[in-house]
Amino acid sequence: MSHWKKAPLYTESGSPLTSDQQSEINDALKGADSKIYAVALPDGTIDQSNVASYTSQLTSALKSAGRPSATVVVLDGMTMFVASTAMPQNLAAQLSNRATSANSDVVDGFKDFAHRVDLALSGDRSALNSGSQANPGAGGTAALVGLGTLALVGGGGYFLYSRNKKKKQAIQDAKDLAAVKQTVDEDVTKLGEEITTLDTDVKLAGEGGQHIQEWETALDSYEKAKTQLATVERADQVREVTQTLEDGRYALAVVKAKVNNEPVPERRAPCFFNPQHGPSIRDVRWAPPGGAVRDVPACRADAEAVERGFDPQMREVMVDGQRRPYYDAGPAYQPYASGYYGGFGDVMTGMFIGTMMGSMLGGFGHGGYGAGYAEGYADGGGGDLGGGGGDFGGWGDFGGGGDFGGGDFGGGDW
């Protein structure tokens, strides 16, 4: 307790906190209903190798001084670590996550965190509400700059740098979006080229060709797909574009049949191997490398190739510098496939079983990414308030005797 003889905030020389910030943080901690202590250190004082032992020493000192139930904040530069013997450690981590994400100012972050701790210890579920609670009298405000968090899980543990993870995820999302947009752009261009090629046949058919209703549908679908693609900002939005392309490709197949005096083709799912090939004509027995055999829709050329023991003309896309089949290119391509195949019933589920896409779809037509696409925001574990481990109710001492018995350290950056 020697750290906190004069105030709940102890500041070591070299800490970036100004004297005014120190004063305001002290006031915030003094005003809290619960026991919250803080130590401000120079940047880089603690890291993965010593944070557990350092916080353990602090909580042991508090226990020896008659404070077996308390929360400790360690501010390393502007990086916040939180440990608690007053509540489940994963809940303390969640509270610090909320506070650092909702406040761009370190003082407001401390005020927010102190208020959330008070709410949590009183059993108030609003402790985990989003938005800043630095000024609880105002009822919370819109969230400021989201700053992310980090947590050390387990005794020797590992760091989950959520701020960096969110940044990396944003970079990956942008990369995925660019890749899938490029793929769809190629599909749109291919449809336009086929329309241009067929235009001669339509003109040669005279007025009869020009009045084929599906010709207008194909033209309209091409223009609509271009417009839709130009507005895509998320990978899941390409579903609408590929739905439009599927409409256009079937219309184009009908036009080809009519100008050549052939039977109008059945409305079937696009060729599984490459949706650019247009509507399939029949199903063929096929298995992905290392996978089980299943029936998949195929265009005439690919159906004949598979039945003769040759490889079909697979639609491949670039993934990390390598070409891979679109169905094994990752979750960004789920909406791409769903737009093409989602309107053709449960047969599509079987079509993708055993592929990367099959593992994340869980059925078409529901939208969004599959489970496990992004690790997302590390929220310190736990979950909501009420019932079950890590929730409100029946806390007692944490880790036995008030010491740290594993648990999670949570915090964030300002």
Residue 220 — left, alpha, or beta (φ > 0 → left; ψ -120 to 50 → alpha)?
Answer: alpha
Across the range 353-363, mean pLDDT stands at 55
Q: Provide φ and ψ at 143, rounded to 5°.
A: -65, 140
**Whether the Cβ atoms of residue 88 and residue 127 lie closer than 8 Å to each other:** no
Tell me whether strands 158-161 and 149-153 are parallel, antiparallel or unpaired. Answer: antiparallel
Distance CA 43, CA 396 (A): 34
Q: Which residues pair with 412 in a beta bridge?
A: 80, 149
- 211: helix, coil or strand? coil
Alpha-carbon distance 36 to 231, whole Å? 49
Region 124-150: mean pLDDT is 56
| Res. 11: pLDDT tops 70 | yes
Q: Which two tokens stand for residue 268?
A: 């079937």
Would you say 101 and 146 are in contact if contact means Cβ atoms under 8 Å apart? yes
Q: Is 164 helix (H, G, I), strand (E, B) or coil?
A: helix
- Would you say residue 87 has pLDDT above 80? yes
Give the pLDDT mean for 288-312.
Answer: 91
What's the CA gap between 75 and 71, in Å, rounded? 13
User: At 341, is the secondary structure helix, strand, or coil?
Assistant: helix
User: What number of other Cβ atoms are within 10 A of residue 159's Cβ?
Assistant: 15
Strand partners, 282: 298
166-215: pLDDT as tens digits: 677 788 889 889 999 999 999 999 999 999 999 887 877 665 556 688 99
CA 403/CA 89 separation, integer angstroms: 11
Q: Span 282-295, mean pLDDT?
A: 88
Q: What is the pTM of this model?
A: 0.51
Q: For residue 348, name the pLDDT band (cuts at 50, 70, 90).
A: low
Give the rounded percent of residues in the chain with a pLDDT score beyond 70: 73
| High-pLDDT (> 90) share of the chain, % | 37
Please tell me the predicted confidence (pLDDT) of residue 414: 61
With beta carbons less than 8 A apart as the criterion, state whether 245 and 187 touch. yes
Q: What is the pLDDT of residue 202?
A: 80
Burial 5-31, CB ≥16 within 10 A → b, else e: eebbbbbeeebebeeebbebbbbbbee
Are the C-beta atoms of residues 90 and 380 closer than 8 Å to each other?
yes
Cα 9 to Cα 97: distance, rounded to the nearest angstrom: 20
* Cα separation, 144 vs 414, whole angstroms: 12
Indicate the burial class of 385 (C-beta count within 10 angstroms; 0-12, 13-18, 19 or more): buried
User: What ranges do the domains of the chain cover?
Assistant: 2-166+378-413
With bands split at pLDDT 50, 70 and 90, how would you rate the model's confidence at 378? very low
Residue 123 has φ and ψ, to the nearest 5°, of 85, 15
Query: Between 268 and 173, whose confidence is greater?
Result: 268
pLDDT for 314 equals 94
Looking at residue 411, its pLDDT comes to 54
Q: Is the pLDDT score of 384 beyond 50?
A: no
Work out the mean pLDDT of the chain and round it to a whole number: 76
Distance (Å, whole) CA 138 – CA 253: 63
Residue 390 has a pLDDT of 32
Given a contact cutoff of 8 angstroms between Cβ atoms, the answer to whether 76 and 395 are in contact is: no
